[in-house]
Amino acid sequence: MTTGAIRLGTRRSALAMAQSGQFAAALERVAGRPVELVQIVSEGDTSRASLSQLGGTGVFATRLREALLAGECDLLVHSLKDLPTADAPGLLLAATPVRADARDVVLTRDGIPLAALAAGSRIGTGSPRRIAQVNRANADVSVHDLRGNVDSRMQRVRDGELDAIVLAAAGLSRLGADIDLRLEPQDLAAWPTAAGQGSLAVETRDDVDDELLAAIRSLDDPATRFAVTVERTILSGVEAGCHAPVGVHADVVDGRLSVRAAVYGARPGDEIVVDHDEAVGEEYIRPQGSGDGADSARRVVPERASAIGTVVAGRLLDRGASDLVSPSTTS
């Protein structure tokens, strides 16, 4: 039995450290070994350029994956929405823990809803998807690029530099931030978010030892894995990168999968929306045990989910989605 510390690679941002620390605590309980955080700096952490200029949010994952492959750490914890949809050679997505709130929230000083903000109000977001959704909620506001950590973003609203910002609810929850601004959560049916938003991705090398892999996989949530696999397959199927104007959300409730996928054009009304609903077999979403049979069952989950995602992506493409996805935003 291995007894040394498990090295968990993470970005150094407050949010990355918080969510990695929460997973580390859970892993310590099931593995019976200490877990230490290894801070890794990526280009996305040091550059002040916009995410679209850097090539999308996949820029955060590249350096971490290099460190994992080089043996600088034993596993990584990512925000799943930051991961490119293509598989990384030599690496394994070993677990997706129970998903947090997948919604976006609009933060303002006084609680005025986004749709009611005055013409010219300044809204902060750097995401093409969120820009499209903001413009559809209120075509009269002005959108400004937004970078920096969560607190610095909120400070721009407190200081009056911006009238509102758009953030992920999951990030605020994981940070446990002291929020003195007013929050307006956005309904996922009208405002589907990034593929994988609210979910963590635990990544290891594909030659990880069986004992550590079993401990990590015990923290996997099959229903979350099923839903986010559908979402990421849709994103990949329309050949859209992780920073493209595409919103998609899938959820499994009481044995039924519901999906909403939207691809946004430059103007309000210029979008394609596809809904999908079907029953999901219990074998795909129940927690698995241990042993070879369980490992086989885990491999089936993404295959079935991927098949559904491919169908939804095909419906989007049939309706012209590829014409709305700019090649410059793919990753």
Catalytic positions are 81-82, 129-130, 147, 153, 242
- Neighbour-count burial for 169-207, b at 16+ CB within 10 Å, e otherwise: bbbbebbebeeebbebebebeebbbbbbbbbbbbbbbee
Count of all residues that appear for the chain in the document = 331
Sheet with 164-168, side-by-side order of all strands: 142-144, 122-124, 164-168, 104-108, 182-185
End-to-end CA distance of the chain: 41
Instruction: Give CA separation, 283 vs 102, 137, 193, 291, in Å.
Output: 24, 40, 27, 16
Nearest to 59 by CA among 74, 73, 41: 41
